[in-house]
A and B are shown apart, each in its own frame.
Chain A
Amino acid sequence: MALQVIFIIVALFTLGSAIGAVVARNLFHAALFLVGTFAGVAVFYVLLQAEFLAVSQVVVYIGAIATLIIFAIMLTRSVMGKEAGSLNSYAWFVAIASALMVAALVWLFSVVKFDINPQPVPDDAIAQIGEGFVTAYVIPFEVASVMLLVALIGAIMLARERHQ
Chain B
Amino acid sequence: MVVPLSWYLFLAAALFGIGFFGVLARRNAVAVLMGVELMLNAVNINILAFWRYVRPDDPTGQIFSIFVLTVAAAEAAVGLALIISIYRTRNTINVDEIDLLKH
Query: When each residue 37-74 of chain B gets 1 if its CB lies under 8 Å from chain A and 0 otherwise, what string results?
Result: 11001001100111111111101101101110111111
For the complex, what is the distance from the CA of A60 to the CA of B78, rounded to whole Å? 15
| Cβ-closest chain B residue relative to A153 | B78
Contacting pair A27 B78 (CB below 8 A): no
**B18–A22 touching, CB < 8 Å:** yes
Q: Across the interface, do B10 and A106 meet the contact criterion of CB distance under 8 Å? A: yes
Interface centre among A48, A52, A79 (most CB of B within 10 A): A48
Find chain A residues with CB under 8 A from B5 CB.
114, 116
Complex partner residue of B78 from A3, A131, A151, CB under 8 angstroms: A151
The interface size of chain A toward B, counting residues with CB under 8 Å, comes to 89
Contacts of A156 in B (CB 8 A): 81
Provide the bound-state CA to CA distance between A162 and B92, in Å.
18
A9 near B: Cβ within 8 Å?
Answer: no
Interface of chain B, main secondary structure: helix
Residue on B nearest A24 in the bound complex, by CB: B31
Asked if A119 and B56 sit within 8 Å, CB to CB, the answer is yes
Q: Are A137 and B20 in contact (CB under 8 A)?
A: no
For the complex, give the distance between the alpha carbons of A159 and B27 in Å. 21
Contact (Cβ within 8 A) A116 B53: yes
Give the A-binding residues of B (Cβ under 8 A). 1-3, 5-11, 13-22, 24-28, 30-31, 33-35, 37-38, 41, 44-45, 48-57, 59-60, 62-63, 65-67, 69-78, 80-85, 87-88, 91-94, 96
Binding site for B on A (CB under 8 A): 1, 3-4, 7, 11, 14-15, 18-19, 21-22, 27, 30-31, 34, 37-38, 41, 44-45, 47-50, 52-53, 56-57, 60-61, 64-65, 68-69, 71-73, 75-76, 79-80, 83-88, 90-91, 94-95, 98-99, 101-102, 105-106, 109-110, 114-122, 125, 128-129, 131-133, 136-137, 140, 144, 147-148, 150-152, 154-156, 158-159, 162
Q: List 29 A-B contacts (CB under 8 A).
A: A11-B11, A19-B18, A21-B34, A22-B18, A22-B22, A37-B15, A44-B8, A56-B69, A60-B70, A68-B76, A69-B34, A69-B80, A75-B84, A79-B93, A98-B20, A114-B54, A121-B57, A129-B63, A132-B59, A132-B60, A132-B63, A133-B63, A137-B60, A148-B73, A148-B74, A150-B74, A151-B77, A154-B81, A158-B82
